[in-house]
Amino acid sequence: MNAFFAIIHREVLLVLRRKSEALTVLFFFLIVTSLFPLGIGADVALLRKIAPGVIWVAALLSTILGLQRLFASDYADGTLEQMALSPTPFVLLVGGKITAHWLLCGLPLVFLAPFIGIQFDLDLETLRTLILALLLGTPILSLIGAIGAALTLGVRGGGVLLSLLVLPLYIPVLIFGAGAVFATSAGLDVGGHFSLLAALLVLAIAFAPWATTAALRIAIE
Amino acid sequence: MIWNSVAEFFVMGGYALYVWSSFGMCALILIGELWAVRSRRKVVVQRLQRQIHAEKLDKEENH
Amino acid sequence: MNIMHSSSSGRYLNWFSFSSPATFYPLAARLTPFFWGLSILFGIVGLWISFFVAPADAVQGDGYRIIFIHVPASWMSMVIYMAMAMWAALGLIFNTRLSAMMAQALAPTGALMAFLSLWTGAFWGKPMWGAWWVWDARLTSELILLFLFLGFMALQASIDDPRRADKAGAILALVGVVNVPIIYFSVTWWNTLHQGASVSMSKAPAMAHTMLWGMLLMTMCFWMYTIALALMRVRAIILERESHSDWVKTLKELRA
């Protein structure tokens, strides 16, 4: 277990030394969400309606941006191979990296979201649902995205290919996450949405680290 | 026979554009894929023939 | 000596001895005409039923005949994805190149079936419900399936090392296969939530006996076609990937 936390500690330290890497993801999130009102017009009622979808899609895209860095630098300097050869189970170390990715790329989105929600004139109840849904959803995005990052490691055109592979897999999270926010704004019950999101999270935690580890081994050998 | 004339068959009760675009695209895909696979095979066969011929000439040269 | 039998879903018998590209190559050549023959046979009977036996629908007139392409294409796109994932999994588990090549051979046909399903869906939807595209659960799922096929093909095309491409593609296909039911469920859920227009592709005409037969026969036609084409394509892939081996160099058809 120590190795797991050691990896997280390492990842956080590395990013803190190059803060720009994590900050660019957040700025991307802010900019993309601002584009929609600029493109569609400032009709408040309309913005309130599209807010769940816009914020969630921006979250998906921002997560994918952050995924490209997940394994790339360790792969390039041989650290990933060392991790694979170490006595600690590789899957544990990979799990640590994914958790760190969520802490650095996903959790900040959860904190930023309410401010964007206010820009789109969402009420308090809806904002609360938004935060909770993103809290459940962003780990799923990191977990599934890690599989894609591992598969496209060191591959030509990796960034765009990663998006093509991962975005279809993100669709259920998008549907339930944005659906939950939309339901709250319409005054409907969100129990179902959250149960489904939680189920997806459990599934992702159960399978994604293993799939990612298998894909990494294929990339390394 | 449910069609009273050949013309009626082609008109498809007014839905000609939609029905024939669908069946047409189907035929296009089926034939197009076949053509593509045959052409892929021809490319690799020709490449291999040239390669084998070149190796044979190489061997003869070195004797 | 283990013998791997195919299940009833149209895959051929596959002894381990045939899992080497060298022995499979001539076998595939012998099987191909057989499947073409079946495909043409089913196609002729299926088309005959589609056009000359099935009567015009009370509501949709003759426009409904598109289902004789649309439904078989949809079914085939899903069957092919399952088959592709199965071959990829076999390749991963048993580390056999040929299984992975088979998955590679199936992918383009699957993508084209998904595309055909979407195309015919649009041409059916326009006259019936007034729109070229409706965000109905099944059409949307079909669109996502197309993306999954394209992703598989793109990943394999981008990786230079063929064995790495095989294995990475296999993992992607398996992740996809697990996700397909989840995606379908979530899209159905989404569709009922945002009940805009109450149109649905599943409001097809009540199935008369002949219509079902027509769809079934056209599906068999597409299935036999897929197998024939996959066998042809895998032979080309085998030549491409095994070009340095002795058995390829001594092939009769390559004597210039």
What integer pLDDT is reported at residue C229 of this predicted model?
96
Provide, rounded to the nearest whole percent, the portion of chain B with pLDDT above 70: 98
Cα A147 to Cα A70, A89, C9, C172, C175: the distances in Å are 11, 17, 30, 8, 9
Q: What is the pLDDT of residue C197?
A: 41
pTM: 0.89
Beta strands in chain C (DSSP E): 3-4, 14-15
Sign, CA dihedral C205-C208-C210-C212, equals positive
Contact C154 A165 (CB under 8 A): yes
Contact C116 B29 (CB under 8 A): yes
pLDDT tens figures, A76-87: 889 999 999 999
Q: In this predicted structure, what is the pLDDT of residue C16? A: 63
Q: How many CB atoms lie within 10 A of CB C218?
A: 27
Contact B18 C123 (CB under 8 A): yes
Mutation target to probe the A interface, by most A beta carbons within 10 A, among C175, C184, C187 is C175
CA distance A95 to A75: 16
Q: Helix (H, G, I), strand (E, B), or coil: what is residue C57?
A: strand
Q: Which residue does chain B place closest to C254, by CA atoms?
A: B49
Residue C208: what pLDDT?
Answer: 75
The tokens for B29 are 């895909």
Q: What is the pLDDT of residue C9?
A: 43
Cβ–Cβ < 8 Å for C69, B29: no
Q: Is residue C73 packed enough to be buried (19+ CB in 10 Å), middle (13-18) or exposed (0-12)?
A: buried
Q: Does the pLDDT at position A22 exceed 90? A: no
Sign of torsion, CA A94 A100 A102 A105? negative
Give how many domains chain A has, as a whole number: 1
Residues C48-98 pLDDT 10s: 988 888 888 777 778 888 989 999 999 999 999 999 999 999 999 999 999
- Could you give the percent of chain C with pLDDT greater than 90? 55
ipTM over 0.95: no
Work out the average pLDDT over A57-84.
Answer: 92
SS3 content of chain C, % helix, strand, coil (to 5): 75, 0, 20
Rg of the Cα atoms in chain A? 18
Task: Pick the closest to residue C51 from C214, C225, C224, C220 (CA basis).
Answer: C214
Dist. CA A46–CA A40, nearest whole Å: 9
| Confidence band, pLDDT 50/70/90 cuts, at residue C108 | very high
Query: With bands split at pLDDT 50, 70 and 90, how would you rate the model's confidence at C196?
Result: very low
Taking the CA of residue B3 and the nearest CA in chain C, the distance in Å comes to 8
Determine contact, residues C195/C17, Cβ cutoff 8 Å: no
pLDDT at C252 over 70: yes
Does an H or E element contain C176, and which?
helix C162-193
The residues pairing with C3 across neighbouring beta strands, listed in sequence order, are C15
User: Is C4 in a helix, a strand, or coil?
Assistant: strand
Given a cut of 90, whether residue C239 has pLDDT beyond it is yes
**pLDDT, tens digit (0-9, with 9 covering 90-100), for A141-195:** 999 999 999 999 988 888 899 999 999 999 999 999 999 998 998 888 889 899 9
Across the interface, whether the CB atoms of C168 and A214 are under 8 A apart is answered: no
Q: Which domain holds residue A75?
A: 2-220
Task: Count each helix (H run) and each strand (E run) in chain B, helices first.
Answer: 2, 0
